[in-house]
Amino acid sequence: MGELWRLSATELADLIRCRKVSAREAAQAALARLDSVNPKINAVVDYRPDDVLSQAEAVDAAIARGDELGLLAGVPVTIKIGADQAGFATTDGMRLQRDHLAALDNPAVANLRKAGSILLGRTNCPTVSYRWFSSNLIHGDTTNPRDASLTPGGSSSGAGAAVAAGIGHIAHGSDIAGSIRYPAYACGVHGLRPSLGRVPHFNPSFGGRSIGGQIAAVSGPLARTVNDLRISLAAMSAPSALDPWYAPVPLNGPLRPKRVAMCLNPDGLDPVPEVITAVADAGRRLRDAGWVVEEINDTPPMREPADLLTQLWLGDGYEAQLAMAEREGDPGALACLRGVRDKVLPFDLSAALARRDMLTREWFAFLDEYPVLLMPVSGELPFLDNLDLKDDASFERVWNAQLPQLAIPLMGLPALTVSTGPAEGIPVGVQFVAARFREDLCLAAGEAIEAGERPIAMG
């Protein structure tokens, strides 16, 4: 039982469904793993063992009755602290929200619950989910289980660290500017940013979102295998009336040629050699798997979408966000907002949305020609932890390297980070992008190059 944490979600769900393992045994193994390694990495910041076991017993009772089971019946998953989970505080890494208890689940969380998963614990994030690093004044720092000197990514930092360390088989994350894709990259796992409207995403405890949040923020899964992303996406994408952007589109679209555009240097990113090597090697793996890979010199614009996404995310209500960060007093949140002031002000919502319209059309046309785009996740290997706080030049270095993550959400496109194995001991991976609602194409390409590594054993 103690090694159940090593199994994929798919393997564990099959064992539970066949009654070879009970949900209670799976929950006990997950709790034991959490207790063993979490003190070293602080990925999970809130969990209730009695509740976890109670959920598992309910799954076992349903199995005993012969009830129809969900895709993830008995599978332990973690939930990001920025998502509403009934009975828990949605702190989003803020002391100001330590008592902000949710009465209802975020619909993505509700869908995981409906699929029979065991909600194991709440994972950490940076204050207000602003950074690609993980520190806050209420829950503390999260450590990368692969290498403590590196960032675990952000903002779904605890999600990436938890999955990499074997705490839960799937992690819920959210992504407006790389917050699923970058923790997966930094922690050596896989992460899927779904299309806008694929997974219902909303926090009832906070009310309406800004337009940037409405059109760019999504919930999605992180996992150790690509197939686990596939089944968790199916579970998370069940309908919900709570999100007006939700679209009931089939998970698998029409057949497309196995054709990939590979871009090593999108829009002047100038990646480090290790990143270029990883993307080129992924292209080789795809060719070996029967895909046609065409190297292209550039993609549609990425810098302008990245700038517009930053404006819609942080420029809309900038002064109110800054005032909140000042009340919180978190150095990382303040550094982020002060560092982007010149990028987001003056803010012109109408102009930003008009340009989004035209840029989206250009990207849609490109992805109609090329079913899948292969490119870097970041221009650099995972950063040293808290590099963005070192000085102004380091802040700009971080921001510039994250261009491939910032651009894609503006158009509402799906994107997948696939870990391809370490480069001299440091995690590295690649990013796939496809047309809206074509996560299936990203996942198919991801499976063709999947490294298939299991999480490291913690000392």
One of 8, 117, 174, 179 is an active-site residue; which one? 179
Active site residue 80: yes
What are 98-107's contacts with CB under 8 Å, separation 24+? 98/138, 100/205, 101/205, 102/203, 102/204, 102/205, 103/204, 103/205, 104/204, 104/205, 106/201, 106/202, 106/203, 106/204, 106/219, 107/200, 107/201, 107/202, 107/240, 107/242, 107/243, 107/246
- Count of alpha carbons within 13 angstroms of residue 173, beta-carbon side: 39
Active site residue 195: no
Tokens for 42, please give them: 């602080």
Residue indicated by tokens 């894609």: 408
Residue indicated by tokens 């403590």: 148
SS3 333: helix
Write phi, then psi, for 28 (nearest 5 degrees).
Answer: -65, -40
Active site residue 179: yes
Write the CA distances from 277 to 181, 221, 421, integer angstroms. 19, 26, 12
Work out the burial of residue 458: count CB atoms within 10 Å of its CB; fewer than 13 is exposed, 13-18 middle, 19 or more buried.
middle
Residue indicated by tokens 């999504």: 218
- C-alpha 245/C-alpha 196 separation (Å) is 7
One of 117, 134, 135, 155 is an active-site residue; which one? 155
Written as one letter, the residue type at 311 is: Q
Tokens for 362, please give them: 């250009």
Tell me if the bond preceding 422 is cis, omega within 30° of 0.
Answer: no
- C-alpha 399/C-alpha 389 separation (Å) is 12
Are 77 and 111 in contact by the 8 Å Cβ rule? The answer is: no
CB atoms within 10 A of CB 259: 15
- C-alpha 220/C-alpha 196 separation (Å) is 11
One of 8, 22, 80, 378 is an active-site residue; which one? 80
Are 376 and 271 in contact by the 8 Å Cβ rule? The answer is: yes
Residue numbers annotated as active site: 80, 155, 179
